[in-house]
Chains A and B, each alone.
Chain A
Amino acid sequence: MRRLVAAAAGAWFVALLAVPVHAQPKTVRIWQTETEPQTLAMLNQIAADFQKVRPDIEVKIEGLAWGDLEKKLTAALAAGAPPDASHGQPITCAAFAAKGLLRPLDDLVETLGRDNLVDAFRNLCRREGRYYGVGHSPASSVFVYRKDLLAQKGLKVPRTWDELIQVADALREVKDGQVVRYGLTMTGAPLFINIGVGELLKTNNGRLFDGKGRPTLTEKPVIELLDFYKKLNRVLPPGWTGHGYLDTFANLANGKAAMLYQAYGRGVGYIEKYAAKELADPAHFAVTDKVVGPSGKTPAAQLDSEPWMVFKNARNGAEAVEFLKFFFRDDNYIRYLHTVPIHLLPITKSAYKNPKYADNPTIRKWRSWVDMQEKYFRNDWIKPILVTEWDDLQKPYLLEVMGSGILVDMVMDAVKGMASPEAASKAQKRVEELLARGGYLKK
Chain B
Amino acid sequence: MTVHAGAAARVRARPRRRLGPAALGVLGVLPALLLIAALIAYPVGYSIWLSLLDKHSFFPAERWVGLDNYVYLLRDTEFWDSLWKGVVYATGTTALQLVAGVVAALVLHQPFVGRTLVRALVLFPYMIPTIVAVIVWRWLLNETYGLVDYLLVAWGLVRQPIVWLGTEHVMTSLIGMSVWQFTPFVVISVLARLQTIPPELYEAARVDGASPWGRFRWITLPQLRAVLFVVILLRSIWMFTKFDTVWLWGEGAGAGREIRTLPVYAYMRTFTYYQAGYGAALAVVMLLMLMAATVAYFRLFWREEEAA
Contact = CB atoms under 8 A, between A and B. Distances in A.
Given A237-B144, A238-B166, A400 B31 contact: no
A9 interface: yes
A74 B271 contact: yes
A301 interface: no
Interface string A227-270: 00000000001111111110100110010110000000000000
Ranked nearest first, the 8 interchain pairs of A and B with the lowest CB-CB distance are A242-B165, A403-B272, A244-B252, A239-B163, A188-B254, A239-B166, A241-B255, A242-B255
B254 A412 contact: yes
B85 to A, nearest CB: 14
Q: Which of A80, A239, A247: most chain B Cβ within 10 A?
A: A239
Contacts of B28: 1, 5
Contacts of A209: none
Contacts of B19: 2
A182 B144 contact: yes
22 contacts: A5-B28, A9-B30, A74-B58, A74-B270, A77-B59, A188-B253, A193-B254, A237-B143, A238-B161, A241-B167, A241-B253, A242-B166, A242-B167, A245-B252, A250-B145, A254-B145, A256-B144, A256-B145, A400-B274, A404-B268, A405-B257, A438-B56
A189 B274 contact: no
Nearest to B153: A178
Contacts, number: 138
Interface of B: 19, 24, 27-28, 30-31, 34-35, 38, 56-60, 72, 138, 142-145, 153, 159-161, 163-167, 170, 251-257, 268, 270-276, 278
Interface of A: 1-2, 5, 8-9, 12, 16, 67, 70-71, 73-74, 77-78, 80, 95-96, 99, 101, 177-178, 182, 187-190, 193, 237-245, 247, 250-251, 254, 256-257, 399-400, 402-405, 408-409, 411-412, 415-416, 434, 437-438
Q: Which of B30, B167, B253: most chain A Cβ within 10 A?
A: B253
B257 A67 contact: no
A67 B60 CA distance: 23
A404 B56 contact: no
Nearest to B38: A16
B254 A77 contact: no
A73 B271 CA distance: 10
Contact of B27 (A5, A187, A405, A415): A5
Contacts of B164: 239, 242
B31 A190 contact: no
B161 to A, nearest CB: 8
Contacts of A188: 253-255
Q: Which of A9, A190, A254, A402: most chain B Cβ within 10 A?
A: A190
B163 A242 contact: yes
A193 B255 CA distance: 11
A2 B253 contact: no
Contacts of B56: 438
A403 B90 CA distance: 25
A282 to B, nearest CB: 23
Contacts of A96: 58
A241 B254 contact: yes
A173 to B, nearest CB: 13
Nearest to B165: A242
Given A12-B31, A239-B144, 14 more contacts: A2-B24, A5-B24, A80-B60, A99-B59, A177-B159, A178-B153, A241-B254, A242-B164, A243-B165, A256-B144, A403-B274, A408-B257, A412-B167, A434-B273
Contacts of B273: 400, 403-404, 434
B59 A101 contact: yes
A261 to B, nearest CB: 15
Nearest to B50: A78
Contacts of B142: 239, 243, 247, 250
Q: Which of B58, B59, B143, B166: most chain A Cβ within 10 A?
A: B58
A189 B163 contact: no
Nearest to A80: B60
A245 B167 CA distance: 17
Contacts of A434: 273
Q: Which of A73, A241, A242, A251: most chain B Cβ within 10 A?
A: A242
Q: Which of B24, B270, B271, B276: most chain A Cβ within 10 A?
A: B271
Nearest to B18: A2
Contact of A189 (B27, B72, B252, B270): B252
A412 B257 contact: yes
Contacts of A404: 268, 272-273
B58 A73 contact: yes
A437 B76 CA distance: 12
B23 to A, nearest CB: 10
A74 B58 CA distance: 5
A96 B60 CA distance: 12
A16 B37 CA distance: 13
B275 A78 contact: no
B276 A78 contact: yes
B251 A70 contact: no
A2 B11 CA distance: 14
Given A8-B31, A16-B38, A400-B273, A238 B257 contact: no
B159 A408 contact: no
A218 B101 CA distance: 51
A244 B274 contact: no
Given A74-B271, A412-B167, A190 B57 contact: no
